[in-house]
Structure 1
Amino acid sequence: MTTDWTVRAISRAMLPVLLALTLVEVGSGLVLGRFEAQLLRYPTLLALVPVTIGTAGNLGSILAARLSTAFHLGTLSFDPADEQLAGNAVATLALALSIFPLVGIGSWGLTALAGSVQLSPGTVLAISLSSGIALAVLAVAVTLTVTYVAYRLGLDPDDVVIPVVTNTCDVLGVVVLFATVQLLL
C-alpha cells in the first residue's frame, strides 16, 4: 500500500476514479429521467428516490469504513470463511432490514401530509423493503469488490472505496427501485 500522502499522489490516484464516477452519476440521472412520468404520477415514489439511494450509499459507506479500518489494523482477510468479514456483511443486511421499512413508511407519511398519496402504505412498504434488501446485497458486493481491488492495486481504501460505493449505489438505487416498482405496480 502506498504511504505517499502528498497532494500530487492523492490527485494522481483519485482523478481517474472521480472522472469515472462523474460518468456514472450522469448515467444515474439519465435512468432517473426515463421514469419521470411514473414519478409525477406517484409522488410517493418521488419522495422515496433520494432516501432510498442515500440509505443504500450510507450502508455501503458504513461497511467500507469498517473494512478499511480492519484493513489498516491488519485484521481484514478476504477469505470467505472470515467471521469478521461475514459478520460485517450480515450486520449491513440486518441494518437494511430495520431501516428500509421506516424509509417506506416515512415517504408515504410525507406525501400523505402533502395530500398527494396515490399508493397504499402496504405497497410503498413492499417497494421500499424489497428494493432496500436488494440494494443492501448489492452494496455489500460492491463494497467487498472495490475494497479488494483497492487492496490489490495498492490504493488506500479510505480514499477510494467510499466514493466508488456511494456513486455506484446511486445508480444501482435508481435502477433497483424502478425495477421493483415495475414488478410490484
Structure 2
Amino acid sequence: MLGYDSALDVYRQALPVILVSLVAGLFAGTVLGTETMRDGIESVPGLLLLLPAFLATRGGVYGSLGARLSSGLHKGLIEPRFEWNDRLRNAVIASFLNGIIVSVFIAVLAWVVLLALGRSGNLLELVVILLVAALLSAVAMLGVLLTVVFKGYQHGLDPDNVIGPVVTTVGDVFGVAFLLVGVYVAGVVL
C-alpha cells in the first residue's frame, strides 16, 4: 500500500504544477507568435536558430540546480529554510555561471552555423542578445526556483515532484520574453 500512497502523493503534488505549466507554456507560445516577437526574430539572423537551444538550456541548467537543492534538503545537507550558506551559494553561483557560459556558446555556435550555411550574421549582436536574456532569465529563474524549493518544502511538498515542470515553464516564458528584451537592448547598444 505504501507504493500507492506514494504515487498518489506525487500525483497530488505534481498535477497542479503541470496544469499551471500548461497554461504558462501556451502563454509563452502566444508571446512567441506576436507580431513584435516575429519582427524581433526576423530582424536578427540566427535568432530563430538559437531559440530552441537557449530555451532547452534554461531547463537543463536550472533543473540541475533544483535537483541538487532537493537532494540536499532530503539528505539534511541544506536547511529547510532559505539561508545563504556556502553549499547553497556555490550551487547558485555555479548554475548562474553555467547559464551564462552556455548562452554565449550557443550564440557563437549559431553564428558558425549561419556562416556554414552561407548566411550573414552579427556575432556581437547574437552574444549581446543572449547575454541579456541569460542574465535576466537567470535572476528570474533563480528567484522562482529558490522560492518554490524552500516554500514548497516547508509546506510539505517534495521539490522532486514540482521543480521539473516549474523550471521548464519559467525557462520558456522568461526565456522568450527576455530574448525579445535582448533584441531591443542590442538594437540600442549596437
Shared fold per TM-score greater than 0.5:
yes
Q: How many residues align?
A: 182
Q: Which residue of 2 aligns with 1:168?
A: 170
Q: What SS does structure 2 have at the residue aligned with 1:9?
A: helix
> Does the aligned pair in 2 maintain the 1:60–1:162 contact within 8 Å?
no
User: Equivalents in 1 of 2:100, 2:173: separation in Å?
Assistant: 21
Among 89, 92, 109, the residue aligned to 2:112:
109
Using the TM superposition, give the Cα deviation of residue 39 of structure 1 relative to its aligned residue in structure 2, in angstroms.
2.0
Q: Which residue of 1 aligns with 2:38?
A: 36
Using the TM superposition, give the Cα deviation of residue 147 of structure 1 relative to its aligned residue in structure 2, in angstroms.
0.3
Please tell me the residue identity of whatever aligns with 1:24: A
Q: Which residue of 2 aligns with 1:89?
A: 92
Q: Which residue of 1 aligns with 2:61?
A: 59
Please tell me the residue identity of whatever aligns with 1:56: R
Q: 1:106 to 1:76 in 2, by over 3 A?
A: same
Pairing 1:8-47 to 2, within 5 Å after superposition: 8-34=8-34, 35-47=37-49
User: Equivalents in 2 of 1:13, 1:85: separation in Å?
Assistant: 24
Please tell me the residue identity of whatever aligns with 1:7: A
Please tell me the residue identity of whatever aligns with 1:161: I
Using the TM superposition, give the Cα deviation of residue 59 of structure 1 relative to its aligned residue in structure 2, in angstroms.
1.4
Taking structure 2 as the reference length, what is the TM-score of the superposition? 0.87
The more displaced of 131-140 and 28-37 is: 131-140
Please tell me the residue identity of whatever aligns with 2:50: L
Residue by residue over 1:5-59, the C-alpha shift from the partner in whole angstroms, topping out at 9 and shown as x without a partner, is: 5433322222211111100000000111111233234341101211111111211
> Does the aligned pair in 2 maintain the 1:67–1:76 contact within 8 Å?
yes
Gaps of 5+ in 1: none
Please tell me the residue identity of whatever aligns with 2:104: P
> Does the aligned pair in 2 maintain the 1:51–1:103 contact within 8 Å?
yes
Gaps of 5+ in 2: none
> Does the aligned pair in 2 maintain the 1:57–1:169 contact within 8 Å?
yes
Q: Percent identity?
A: 29
User: Equivalents in 1 of 2:78, 2:111: separation in Å?
Assistant: 40
Taking structure 1 as the reference length, what is the TM-score of the superposition? 0.89
Indicate the RMSD between aligned Cα atoms, in angstroms: 1.8
